[in-house]
Structure 1
Amino acid sequence: MADVLDKDFEKITLKKIGAYLGAEVSGADLSAEVDDVTFSEIHQAFVENEVLVFRDL
Structure 2
Amino acid sequence: MTEEKATLLLIKGTIADLPPADREGVELAAAKLREVIAAHNDHGLMAFALVGAELQMEG
TM-score bin, normalised by smaller chain = 0.3 to 0.5
The TM-score with structure 2 as length reference comes to 0.33
More strand by share: 1
Instruction: Identify the structure with bigger relative contact order (alpha carbons < 8 Å, sequence gap 6+).
Output: 1
Larger Rg: 2
The TM-score with structure 1 as length reference comes to 0.34
More helix by share: 2
